[in-house]
Structures are given as structure tokens and as C-alpha cells.
Amino acid sequence: MNFEAIKSIYVFEMARLRRTLLQSVISPVITTSLYFIVFGTAIGSRIQTVEGVSYGSFITPGLIMLTLLTQCISNGSIGIYFPKFTGTIYEILSAPVAMTEIIIGYVGAAATKGLIIGVIILATASFFVDIRIAHPFMMVLFLVLTAITFSMFGFIIGIWAKNFEQLNIIPMLVVPPLTFLGGSFYSINMLPPFWQTVSHFNPVLYLVSGFRWSFYEIADVNPMISLGMVGLFLVICLSILGWIFKTGYRLRN
Amino acid sequence: MASVVSIDKLTKTYENGFQALKGIDLEIEEGEILALLGPNGAGKTTLISIICGLVNPSTGKVLVGGKDVVRDFRQTRSLIGLVPQELTTDMFETVWNTVNFSRGVYGKKPNPALVESVLKELSLWSKKDNMLRELSGGMKRRVMIAKALAHEPQILFLDEPTAGVDVNLRREMWQLVEKLRASGVTIILTTHYIEEAEEIADRVGVINGGKLLLIEKKAALMKKLGRKQLRLELSEPLTALPASLAVYNLTLADDGTALIHEYQGEEGQGAIASLLSTLAAENIHFRDLSTRQSSLEDIFVALVGEDA
Ligand SMILES: Nc1ncnc2c1ncn2[C@@H]1O[C@H](COP(=O)(O)OP(=O)(O)OP(=O)(O)O)[C@@H](O)[C@H]1O
Ligand SMILES: [Mg+2]
């Protein structure tokens, strides 16, 4: 293992993220606050409770997931896309570093930033609503596994993307609908049976449901199934990355 | 001398089916300065990229320090520093950070004193806290060199280092190259400027169309292929060459006021003494005499032209 290289990439990436931290923290904090004001206070005052939890508290885990997914995917993808785009990637590719080390550096930095922002959103939320965390260990586990998995997913997009449009299309067009339809703002038990079935094909449902369970012990699907699904996504991303190492896909050809 | 890079039957076919290298065999000796000459698209950058691990080879083998560049990439890449052809820099980083980053990704412990000396060597010390976008093109080029030297490589690749570089920087660069060579670093550079190869290289390789046309010690190359010309300015014009001079390769020029003797490399030199004594015997006197040697450029143009 070339630890010095992992450290260099990680520190370098974190320095880049630090430069943009203000804007990348302020915007999700404002967005989340708006959600709380609109959904939590204005609409939520009419909804009262969902499965015994106040509506504002109910949506908090989903909002954190929404931000975490978007941030991890976009940081993970930009981190590797940018050097590819400017050409500075030559240096990492000609250095004595294995792909594993490159990924640990980039994905680690993207996941770290996602987690920092996730925690900030959680803190913001606690100003608006009552937060109770029933299973702190499981909560952290869900948070960390999701951050790592989706930073890897971002990394894969960053390697695949040939232009900025492709780079942005998944975080902008795919993730928000999946999150909205994945039970961030409602329990899928509120849906007609047909849409409940459809929702089970939405991967984000499992993340949000499991994560919410770690807070309030209410879930749309069994939390162990949720954890299994997160594990499955992780394995899928790892396999794609493994294939990328082997073939040098869009990097060494 | 031991070879530090050894290339065996190397070919590269890009994804689009284009064959950029068509079987290259090359031994690069430890401590030498090797210049690779070749027109645009010859395959120079492709060759370097494979040695450095940027591009996967299609077939064939490359050993660096006796290790395979694909299988033992950690050992081989640690030995190598690369200054690529394209100027690519992280615009928003400082000089100091980017050079230290380079050292780090090569797995070396931080060494501020060494980085400082590299930056001073390249007259970049005063710019160490500037962002790269604030530097001129030539300075960015120097940063690229500093990045390549930050991990103390044993083999340095310079891919067209002097493209877009002014005379001063070019001088400085060659001084640096000499200094590195003196410290035992092997240097491989590509260039379009033949004078450059002529000036600093020990050996010259000519690549065209993905093939290595020739690789030779510069001096030997000049000797073998360099044509020489002896020009005599005659005191009185001649209308025709006397029969006794027919054995020499002579032509009359400028209305008979000049006599030109063409000969090739070493073997022709012996003839000059006898030519001069024959001229004296024929009572042909000359005012002045000059010799000219064909440059690498002439050799290069002849070679590449022949191949095309
Ligand atoms: N990624 C690529 N995909 C397909 N073809 C490529 C690729 N890179 C280079 N080539 C082709 O391979 C050939 C050799 O290119 P290379 O960059 O090695 O030439 P070069 O000798 O460095 O030229 P120059 O003096 O212009 O830098 C060219 O015909 C080029 O078009
Ligand atoms: Mg080139």
C-alpha cells in the first residue's frame, strides 16, 4: 500500500473541498431550512403526525439522505472528472499508485465531505424539530455506508462521463426524483397498493426507510433488508470499479 | 553499459483501431541523454506513455530497471519522472502544494528542503505561494518539471520540453539537464528541433510512422551519414576540370570560380591531402577554403523522406 499517496490525494481533495465548503454547506442548509418551513411548518401543521412522529421529525432522515446522496455523487464524480478534464490525471496514472489507492483517496474525501454536510443538516434540523435517535450505532452505519457507496457511484460516473452534461445528469435528474418517490416525505403505506409495489423497485426507499428506522423505529421495509440493500449497492459499485481497474476503462486507452 | 529501459517488440493499437507503434525495439542506457526525433504523429508520445504507465501496451514488453512496467508498476514508476507534452495544471492550486502533492503520490515522505531546492533551481521559489493560473506559460512549464523532479527520479522523460519556451528558459533547461545527467539521471527527450538533439543528446533515435528508423550515437551518426563539403575559392576561374582531377568527386561552381569537393564521413578525409597536392601540381591556386558538415537536420529530412 502506498499510504503516502492515499494521504496526498485525500488531503489534496479535502483542500479543494475546503475552498468550496462555504458554498457547498450554505446551499444545502438553506434548502433544508426551506423544506422545514414549507413542509414541516406550513403543510406539516395540517398533517400532524405520521405513524406517531411529528411530520417535521418524520422528514428529517429523508432530507439528510437526499443531501448526502446528491453531495456524495457530485463530489465523487467531480473529484475524478476534473483531473481527467484538465489532463492533470496523467500524474496519478503515471505514479506508483494502484487503482485501489486512487479510489480510497478520492472516495474517502468525497464521503467525508458528504458526512460533514449530513451532520450539519442534522444539526440544522434539530433547530426546527425534535430529533430522537433510537439506534445511534445503526444510524452512523447507514450514514457511513451510504456515503461511501454513493461516493463510489459518483466516482464511476466521473470516469464514465465524457462531458459536463453526462457528469450532471444523474445527480440532477435521477437522484431527486428517486429520493422524492422513495418515501422521504411520506410513508409508502399512505400510497395505493400498486404504487407501494413500484416503490419497492426504488433503491432509495431502502436507504431512507432504514435510516429513518434508526431514528424512530418506524420503517417501510425491514431495517435488516435495508442494510442488506445498502451492502448490495456497495458490492455492485465495487464490482464495477474492479472491472474499471482491470480494463483501464476510459483511463488507460 | 547497463540498459535501464529495455523495450521489446512493442506495439500499440488504439481503441479506434489505429496502430501507433509497429514493433519498437530499443535499449536505453543508464545515464545517457537520448533524443527521440520524429514528425507529428510519429508515435513518440505513445511510446513514452507506455513506458510511464499512462497507456497500456497492446503487445510486446517494456522493462524499466529490469522490471515489467505493467506487472511491477510500483517499482518501475517510482524510478520515472515525466514532463508531459501538454501543459496541464491545477489552476487553483499553489506552486508549493502542487509540487508537494507530486512527491506524495509517488509515495515519498514530505521533504520541504528538497522541494525548496528544486523550486530554487527552476527559479520558481519566489512564486511558491502563487496559484498556477497566475503564472506565465513558461513558468507553468517549469512547474511541470519541478513536479517531475519532486520525487527524485532516476529516469526523466521530457516530452517536447521546449515547445513554446523562450531562448533563456531553453538555455536554463539544458543546463539543468546536464546537471541531472551529471548526477546519474537518465534523460529521454522528444523534440522537433534538431539543433536541440544535436546540442545535448548522446544518442539520437528517429521515429516515423510507429517504427524506429534508426538509433545511433550522435557522433557516429554524423560520421556515418553526415556529408561533408570542401569548397575552394579559386584565384582564377577554370573553364573545365583537368583530367588528373577526374578521380575526385568535384564540381565547378559559380562560373568556374569555385571548386566543390563532396565526401562522406571519415573515409573521404584522406582524399583531401592528395586532392590539394594534385591541385598544386596542376598549378591551380585558391584564395580561400571552407568546409561544411551536413547537420542532423539534413540527415533527418533525408531519412524521413526516404521512408515516406
Ligand atoms: N488516444 C488515442 N486514440 C487514437 N489514436 C491516437 C491516440 N493518441 C494518439 N493517437 C494517434 O497515434 C499516433 C501517434 O501519436 P503520438 O501522440 O504518439 O505522436 P507524437 O510522435 O508524439 O506526435 P507529436 O510530435 O505531434 O507530439 C497519431 O497518429 C495519433 O493520431
Ligand atoms: Mg507527442
Q: B50 and B12 in contact (C-beta within 8 Å)?
A: yes
B87 vs B50: CA distance, rounded Å: 19
Total domain count, chain A: 1
Residue of chain B nearest A13, judged by CA positions: B101
| Better-scored residue on pLDDT, B35 or A179 | B35
Q: What CATH topology corresponds to B227-294?
A: Alpha-Beta Plaits (3.30.70)
Grid cell digits, residue A225: 433488508
Ligand 1 neighbours (beta carbon < 6 A): B 14, 16, 18, 20, 38, 40-46, 85
Q: Please state the three-class secondary structure of chain A as a single string.
A: CCHHHHHHHHHHHHHHHHHCHHHHHHHHHHHHHHHHHHHHHHHHHHHCEECCEEHHHHHHHHHHHHHHHHHHHHHHHHHHHHHHHHCCHHHHHHCCCCHHHHHHHHHHHHHHHHHHHHHHHHHHHHHHCCCCCCCHHHHHHHHHHHHHHHHHHHHHHHHHCCCHHHHHHHHHHHHHHHHHCCCCCCCHHHCCHHHHHHHCCCHHHHHHHHHHHHHHCCCCCCHHHHHHHHHHHHHHHHHHHHHHHHHCCCCCC
Instruction: Give domain status of residue A253, yes or no.
Output: no
Protein residue whose Cα sits closest to atom 28 of ligand 1: B41
| Better-scored residue on pLDDT, A55 or B203 | B203
B206-232: average pLDDT: 81
B174-186: average pLDDT: 92
Please determine, for residue A154, whether its predicted confidence score (pLDDT) is greater than 80. Answer: yes
Side chain identity at A44, as an amino acid letter? G
A156 vs A177: CA distance, rounded Å: 20
Nearest residue to B172 (alpha-carbon basis) of B190, B145, B154: B145
Nearest residue to B27 (alpha-carbon basis) of B47, B52, B8, B51: B8
Ligand 1 atom closest to the Cα of residue B210 is 14
Q: B224 and B211 in contact (C-beta within 8 Å)?
A: no
Mean pLDDT, chain B, as a whole number? 87
Please determine, for residue B221, whether its predicted confidence score (pLDDT) is greater than 80. Answer: no
| Better-scored residue on pLDDT, A41 or A194 | A194
Q: Which of B44, B48, B56 to mutate to test the pocket of ligand 1 (most atoms within 8 A of CB)?
A: B44
Using a CB-CB distance cutoff of 8 angstroms, which residues of chain A are in contact with residue B75?
96
Please determine, for residue A223, whether its predicted confidence score (pLDDT) is greater than 70. Answer: yes
**CA A228 to ligand 2 center in whole angstroms:** 50
Contacts of A96 (CB under 8 A, 6+ apart): A2, A5, B73, B74, B75, B76, B77, B78, B106, B107
Nearest residue to B173 (alpha-carbon basis) of B133, B211, B146: B146
Residue A150: pLDDT band (50, 70, 90) is very high
Protein residue whose Cα sits closest to atom 31 of ligand 1: B41
A209-217: average pLDDT: 93
Q: A190 and A49 in contact (C-beta within 8 Å)?
A: no
Contacts of A29 (CB under 8 A, 6+ apart): A120, A121, A124
pLDDT computed for residue B265 by the predictor:
63
Mean pLDDT, chain A, as a whole number? 88
pLDDT computed for residue A170 by the predictor:
82
Please determine, for residue B174, whether its predicted confidence score (pLDDT) is greater than 80. Answer: yes
Residue A152: pLDDT band (50, 70, 90) is very high
Ligand 1 atom closest to the Cα of residue B38 is 21
A47-52: average pLDDT: 78
Q: B69 and B53 in contact (C-beta within 8 Å)?
A: yes
| A228–chain B Cβ distance below 8 A for any pair | no
Please determine, for residue A187, whether its predicted confidence score (pLDDT) is greater than 90. Answer: no
Residue B85 CA: distances (Å) to CA of B46, B82, B141, B161, B163: 11, 9, 10, 7, 8
Looking at domain B3-223, does it have CATH number 3.40.50.300? yes
Residue of chain A nearest B16, judged by CA positions: A253
Please determine, for residue A134, whether its predicted confidence score (pLDDT) is greater than 70. Answer: yes
| A15–chain B Cβ distance below 8 A for any pair | yes
Residue A102: pLDDT band (50, 70, 90) is very high
Please determine, for residue B283, whether its predicted confidence score (pLDDT) is greater than 80. Answer: yes
Every domain range in chain B assigned CATH 3.40.50.300:
3-223
Please determine, for residue A135, whether its predicted confidence score (pLDDT) is greater than 60. Answer: yes
Please determine, for residue B268, whether its predicted confidence score (pLDDT) is greater than 70. Answer: no
| Domain carrying residue A39 | 3-247
pLDDT computed for residue B173 by the predictor:
86
pLDDT computed for residue B267 by the predictor:
61
For chain A, what percent of residues have pLDDT higher than 90? 39
**CA B306 to ligand 1 center in whole angstroms:** 21
Protein residue whose Cα sits closest to atom 29 of ligand 1: B41
Please determine, for residue B165, whether its predicted confidence score (pLDDT) is greater than 80. Answer: no
Q: Nearest C-alpha of chain A: how many angstroms from B142?
A: 15
B84·A5 Cβ contact <8 A: no
B112-132 pLDDT, tens per residue? 999 999 999 888 999 999 999
Count contacts between A and B (CB, < 8 Å).
81
B133 vs B147: CA distance, rounded Å: 16
| Better-scored residue on pLDDT, B90 or B178 | B178
Q: A11 and B103 in contact (C-beta within 8 Å)?
A: no
A104-125 pLDDT, tens per residue? 999 999 999 999 999 998 998 8
| Better-scored residue on pLDDT, B259 or B198 | B259
Instruction: Give domain status of residue A171, yes or no.
Output: yes
CB nearest B90 (choices: A3, A88, A93):
A88
What is this structure's pTM? 0.82
B170 vs B166: CA distance, rounded Å: 6
**CA B21 to ligand 1 center in whole angstroms:** 10
Please determine, for residue B308, whether its predicted confidence score (pLDDT) is greater than 60. Answer: no
A63-80 pLDDT, tens per residue? 899 889 988 998 999 999
Please determine, for residue A81, whether its predicted confidence score (pLDDT) is greater than 60. Answer: yes
| Better-scored residue on pLDDT, A170 or B109 | B109
B8 beta partners: B61
Q: Nearest C-alpha of chain A: how many angstroms from B100?
A: 9
**CA B191 to ligand 2 center in whole angstroms:** 9
Q: Which range, B26-35, B170-179, B297-306, is most confident?
A: B26-35
Please determine, for residue B244, whether its predicted confidence score (pLDDT) is greater than 60. Answer: yes
A4·B88 Cβ contact <8 A: no
Residue of chain A nearest B102, judged by CA positions: A91
Residue B43: pLDDT band (50, 70, 90) is very high
B contact set with A (CB within 8 A): 14-15, 52-56, 73-78, 80, 82, 84, 86, 88-92, 97, 100-109, 147
A91·B52 Cβ contact <8 A: no
Instruction: Give domain status of residue A58, yes or no.
Output: yes
Instruction: Give domain status of residue A252, yes or no.
Output: no
Please determine, for residue B266, whether its predicted confidence score (pLDDT) is greater than 70. Answer: no
A46 vs A56: CA distance, rounded Å: 11
A4-18: average pLDDT: 89
Residue B284: pLDDT band (50, 70, 90) is confident
A82 vs A64: CA distance, rounded Å: 26
A119 vs A126: CA distance, rounded Å: 11
| Better-scored residue on pLDDT, B75 or A41 | B75
Helix B137-149 to helix B112-121 angle (10° resolution) is 140
Residue B188: pLDDT band (50, 70, 90) is very high
Residue B97 CA: distances (Å) to CA of A11, A94, B223: 10, 19, 48
Mutate to test the interface with A, among B105, B109, B157 (most CBs of A within 10 A): B105
Instruction: Give domain status of residue A216, yes or no.
Output: yes
B131-164 pLDDT, tens per residue? 999 998 888 989 999 999 999 999 999 998 887 7
Using a CB-CB distance cutoff of 8 angstroms, which residues of chain A are in contact with residue B45?
none
Q: Which of B13, B18, B19, B207 to mutate to test the pocket of ligand 1 (most atoms within 8 A of CB)?
A: B18
